[in-house]
Structure 1
Amino acid sequence: MAASAEPVRTPGLAEVYNAHHDFVWRSLRRLGVDATDVEDAVHDTFLVVARRLAEFEGRSSLRTWLFAIAMRVAQSRRRDQQREVHHLHRYESVAPPQSEDPWTREESRATLHQLLDSLDADQRAVFIMIELESMTAPEIAAVLDLKVPTVYSRLRLAREAMRRAVARYLARTKDRAP
């Protein structure tokens, strides 16, 4: 008698939300969603999850599937924001808050987001997934519908761009040092 394969149990929305809210929030911030908009972006992400959870087939991990959705939400928000800025001609300075200790947790986070913003969107997604969320290249390739060598190529380019961005940042901060 052949053993029948049991269907993969898809978790419910509440279970997914409770288990992965923090991951989605972090991912959206790292993908460039402004801190004031991140909760709305999390909400938008989970609205998509609610609509599509029944379609999740388990070909990738739930985290990589959620990251792909969050990435699209972040891209959409950036496009909307760029349109708004273009139409309203509003330019605001985005400077991290200064304190007596230049390496406070919040300033470090703001610096990380500035550095991530310097990356191309495709490279940033791969960089975040591998370097900050410890996902594997095959997982990323499956979620982003890429070939594994493309993932590694984007990672290499992202790392080079990040090294340059860090060097520029350090040169700027060195010039401001007392």
Structure 2
Amino acid sequence: MTKADGSLANAPSMGNASALVCSIDSSLMTDARLEDHYRQHFAYVWKSARRLGVSEADADDVVQEAFLVARDLLDAKSPADVRSFLFGVVYNVVRRHRRRLKSSPQTTSAIDDLPDASARGPTASTERMEAARLLERLLALLNDEQRAVFVLAEIEHKKLREIGQILGINLNTAASRLRLARARLAEAALRIQAQEGWRTR
């Protein structure tokens, strides 16, 4: 599987991040260290939520919830790698978010709200959007557990031991999920290539 940058949609600019910081519950920002983490890692957490399948419409809410959870855990855990810690937090928040969505009608998906590549203009931009849509299409085939391991391994370039620590699973489980994810995506990619080849004949 070719490594990809995983930018399923453009992350909000820092201006937008600052606006969200200003609009967020003020109690979240009483901790100067947390506010600093929020400003530094907002875009990363937002993109992580999107990579894990959250729609653009829901991403800001998921990010805010993730930082609320992080506020309660940062002092207790004092993580050395804040980004990895935040990925673990957003992964758990996304799982809860998915459970909530299952009990209510869904009107959009992470795929639906990706911009249409044909509307982007320049060839490079079009190709980037097409690649992003293909990545999202493939990731959607995985269950939450496989998707998280695959994102960490192939996009974040984490080692299996690190992945196990981030997700709270043992090394064998991480390796098994990654193997299954790679096999499923390789099969799907071949099927898509065959379909595209048939269409262009």
The bucket for the TM-score relative to the shorter chain is 0.7 to 0.9
TM-score (norm 1): 0.79
* Equivalent in 28, 41, 45 of residue 66 of structure 2: 45
Over 3 Å counting, the alpha-carbon distance change for 1:176 and 1:38 in structure 2 is: farther
TM-score (norm 2): 0.70
Whole-angstrom CA distance in 2 between matches of 1:69 and 1:154? 19
Hey, what does 2:6 align to over in structure 1? none
Which residues of 2 match residues 55-134 of structure 1 at below 5 A? 55-58=76-79, 61-85=81-105, 94=112, 97=116, 99=118, 103-134=126-157
Over 3 Å counting, the alpha-carbon distance change for 1:43 and 1:151 in structure 2 is: same
Whole-angstrom CA distance in 1 between matches of 2:108 and 2:59? 20
Whole-angstrom CA distance in 2 between matches of 1:48 and 1:153? 29
Whole-angstrom CA distance in 2 between matches of 1:128 and 1:166? 16
Verify: 1:138 aligned to 2:158, yes or no.
Answer: no
Hey, what does 2:50 align to over in structure 1? 29
Per-residue Cα deviation, 1:22-73 (whole angstroms, up to 9, x for no partner)? 2111110010001121122111111111222211233x62222111111111
**5+ residue gaps, structure 2:** 1-31
Over 3 Å counting, the alpha-carbon distance change for 1:154 and 1:43 in structure 2 is: same
Q: Which amino acid aligns with 2:53?
A: G
For the Cα contact (< 8 Å) 1:123–1:155, is it kept in 2?
A: yes
Which of these two proteins has the greater Rg computed from alpha carbons?
Answer: 1
* 1:170 Cα offset (Å): 2.3
SS of corresponding position for 2:157: coil
Whole-angstrom CA distance in 2 between matches of 1:73 and 1:116? 18
Over 3 Å counting, the alpha-carbon distance change for 1:75 and 1:36 in structure 2 is: same
* 1:82 Cα offset (Å): 2.2
For the Cα contact (< 8 Å) 2:55–2:108, is it kept in 1?
A: no
Over 3 Å counting, the alpha-carbon distance change for 1:53 and 1:105 in structure 2 is: same
**5+ residue gaps, structure 1:** 1-10
Over 3 Å counting, the alpha-carbon distance change for 1:91 and 1:56 in structure 2 is: closer
Whole-angstrom CA distance in 2 between matches of 1:29 and 1:38? 7
SS of corresponding position for 1:12: helix
Over 3 Å counting, the alpha-carbon distance change for 1:91 and 1:152 in structure 2 is: closer
Whole-angstrom CA distance in 2 between matches of 1:35 and 1:107? 17
Bigger Cα displacement from structure 2, 139-148 vs 66-75: 139-148
Whole-angstrom CA distance in 1 between matches of 2:171 and 2:179? 13
For the Cα contact (< 8 Å) 2:48–2:87, is it kept in 1?
A: yes
Percent of matched pairs sharing the same residue: 32
For the Cα contact (< 8 Å) 1:29–1:113, is it kept in 2?
A: no
SS of corresponding position for 1:135: coil
